[in-house]
Amino acid sequence: MQPERTRLAWRRTTLSATVVALLAGRQALHSGATPAALVAVALTAVAWLGFLAVAHRRVQRLGVARPEPLAPRGALTAALCTVAFAVFAVAMLF
């Protein structure tokens, strides 16, 4: 049961990251497409793609009864993408 719950948690987190990326694009279009906002949106899209890649690999590996633990590199990538979302959001506000 634990791998299934973890897989569902990764999917929910991926959905949240997708919403963040879409809201960043919406904010950039709504406030005017300034060069800084477009760069922030592009970087948000790159961070989203990075998080999506980590999440997809993790969900695939959770399909067995005893999955391997998340590699430190994957955990670091997911954490950096999450922090990047926050940094790019602040950059879009200023």
Q: pLDDT tens for residues 10-29?
A: 899 999 989 988 888 888 77
Which tokens hold the place of 46?
Answer: 């790159």
Which tokens hold the place of 59?
Answer: 């969900």
pLDDT at 20: 85
> How many domains does the chain fold into?
1
Full residue range of the structural domain in which residue 52 is found: 2-93
Read off the pLDDT of residues 40-68 as tens digits, 9 standing for 90 and up.
788 888 999 999 999 999 888 888 778 88
CA distance 41 to 26: 9
pLDDT higher than threshold 80 for residue 33:
no
- Enter the pTM of the model: 0.80
CB atoms within 10 A of CB 62: 19
Band of residue 79 on the pLDDT scale cut at 50, 70, 90: very high
pLDDT at 53: 93
Q: Which one is predicted more confidently, 43 or 33?
A: 43
Q: Which one is predicted more confidently, 33 or 85?
A: 85
> Distance of CA 33 to CAs 38, 45, 73, 87, Å?
6, 16, 34, 18
